[in-house]
Copies of this chain bind each other. A is one copy, B any other.
Amino acid sequence: VRIALDAMGTDHAPRSEVAGALGALREFGPEVEIILVGDRSVIEREIERHDDVPAGRLRIHHASERVLPGESPAAAVRRKPDSSISVGLRLQQQGDADAFISAGSTGAVMAASLFILRPLPGVDRPTVATFLPTGAQPVLLVDAGTNVDCKPRHLLQFAHLGHIYVQDALGVDRPRVGLLNIGEEPEKGDERAVETFRLLSGDPGLNFVGNVEGRAIVEGVCDVLVADGFVGNVLLKFYESVAQFIVALLQRELTRFDLAMDMTGVLRALDYSEYGGAPLLGVNGVSIICHGGSTPKAIQNAVRVAAQAVQSGMVQDMASELAQTVSRVGGNGA
């Protein structure tokens, strides 16, 4: 598996990228190779700081430009054809890499992935999904903020993309798909939810378990949670902050009782960067999006996510499942 890794993406690029890449090369066998994409001299200087570089498995591919924070994604793609993002994606599109990872501007990675890799037939809107930790298996939230104002048919497509991703990434057989809603009955929710329920429940290709309320998410009642990106994003950001808030409250209590406690174990269970980056689902290739603040460990985990997606044949599985869905309910006509 040859992974093109944007070396210019994180807030402390290329430090996290290089350290994460080296960690991944140690973790995986010779089946994984990494191509660092970006300013060759900067990357070389960073690599020199390490003395455990495995020969032949870490390469550099030069890219002369870099997308800066705050740049318009569309403009960045158009005006910087030699950015580390566009160059890395073209490596995959030309068959010189099997996957791409970037912690750069999410908008630019999405725009460039769409432009260079192209959407899969039957996908109107590619989507970024994120795992939410629960008491049981993690739940894949799709969409987690990429697409707002979604139509029911978009949510149906998200369900299929999430279904394949969870199946291939976590090895879950026939993942349970739930629809985020404000009540369990089919007629509950807004107009979009009611119509989406109809589409999901009538789809023989999905293991649809019905509506899932906010309170049931952490109980692990489904493997894939379908939502419009507006609600998904609010939920995701809220989850992160609530976890921190409650742990802080508890620590205050502990101090009162003169107790000290290492909360690391608990926070780890809630740290969704554990799952590495999030793949852009619905494009014709593997494109993994990471946080700008990614640590070396997060980058290393993103490499694992990318390798798994390639080895499981995720993109091919999505293409064939979506082709069947399109033939049943219609799609973007592509």
Q: Which residues of A contact B (CB under 8 A)?
A: 134-135, 145, 148-149, 180, 182, 189-191, 193, 213-219, 228-231, 233-243, 245-250, 253-254, 257, 259, 261, 263, 265-266, 269-270
Contacts and interface: CB of A to CB of B under 8 A. Distances in A.
Contacts of A236: 214
A241 B266 contact: no
Contacts of A261: 253-254, 257, 259
Protomer copies: 2
A213 B237 contact: yes
Contacts of A218: 238, 241-242, 245
B242 A180 contact: no
- Of the listed residues A180, A233, A240, the one surrounded by the most CB atoms of chain B closer than 10 A to its CB is A233
Given A149-B191, A230-B193, A246-B246, A238 B241 contact: no
12 contacts: A148-B189, A182-B229, A182-B234, A182-B237, A213-B234, A214-B239, A217-B238, A218-B245, A219-B241, A231-B231, A235-B238, A246-B270
Nearest to A256: B265
B239 A242 contact: yes
B231 A249 contact: no
B231 A234 contact: yes
A233 B254 CA distance: 32
A233 B214 contact: yes
Given A182-B233, A266-B253, A270-B246, A215 B241 contact: yes
A278 to B, nearest CB: 16
A246 B248 contact: no
A261 B249 CA distance: 14
A237 B215 contact: yes
B253 A241 contact: no
Contacts of A247: 246, 250
Contacts of A250: 247, 250, 263, 266
Contacts of A239: 214, 238, 242
Contacts of A190: 148-149, 228, 230
Nearest to A241: B215
Given A182-B230, A190-B230, 13 more contacts: A134-B245, A148-B189, A149-B190, A182-B233, A213-B237, A214-B236, A215-B240, A218-B242, A234-B234, A234-B235, A242-B246, A253-B263, A257-B261
